Amino acid sequence: MSKKVKAKYLLLILLPYLIFYFFIQSAITSGYNFLTEFDELIPFVPEFIWIYHTILPIIVLTVVSLIEKKEVFFTAIAGFLFAALITSAFYVFLPASYPRDAYIDSSTSGYLVELTRIIDGPSNTFPSSHVTFAWLTVLFVGLSKYANTCKWVRPAYFFWALLISVSTLVLKQHFIIDVFSGIALALICYYLGKRLIFERMLTTN
């Protein structure tokens, strides 16, 4: 499959999801507060905003450029689709809202955090889509030939997803429960994709 065709498939999932996500932002302005004492102990580190915004570029680069096998590509597409549908359902029927007003910083990173909060409201946190999509990317790139030929691929992606997860906490974008539920959802969507797409395509080839 060409990169252009793969990009079109990925766009068919990401674009509607992002449109729906931002529509929910304007429609739902409050939600459950899952804040715990452990959440409050986590420091606010605005510099992590630069890591936080690597999510879309890394997903696109990985799916379009690194995942070459047809069965792996469509498994990834299915997994991302499941994740988009499930997180959207949670954001509608179980909205959670993080109290961010106390976390302000005047640095360049802090300004980007404020800009991010204008675009990405506080009411759709559970589960974290950043965490879900990051760990799905780790799992699917692990099925690629690059992960088998290059020893650094799996640990590099694992470290990146770990940083994404940490960034959601230290930027006060998500609760701790959002991170763990995001990882759990990534595993569920990964195995759904493997069972429904990957294994079937392997048996028919």
User: pLDDT exceeding 70 applies to what percent of the chain?
Assistant: 96
Contact 78, 196 (CB under 8 A): yes
Predicted pLDDT at 108 = 94
Q: Is the pLDDT of residue 202 over 60?
A: no
In this prediction the pTM is 0.91
Q: Is the pLDDT of residue 168 over 60?
A: yes
Express each pLDDT in 67-106 by its tens digit: 888 888 989 999 999 999 999 999 989 999 998 887 888 8
Dihedral over alpha carbons 183, 12, 193, 121 (to 10 degrees): 20
Per the model's pLDDT, the better-predicted residue between 52 and 146 turns out to be 52
Q: Is the pLDDT of residue 186 over 70?
A: yes
Per the model's pLDDT, the better-predicted residue between 101 and 130 turns out to be 130
Predicted pLDDT at 165 = 98
Half-sphere exposure for 17 (CA within 13 Å, toward CB): 21
Q: With bands split at pLDDT 50, 70 and 90, how would you rate the model's confidence at 200?
A: low
Q: Is the pLDDT of residue 203 over 70?
A: no
Express each pLDDT in 24-49 by its tens digit: 877 777 789 999 999 999 999 999 99
Predicted pLDDT at 176 = 97
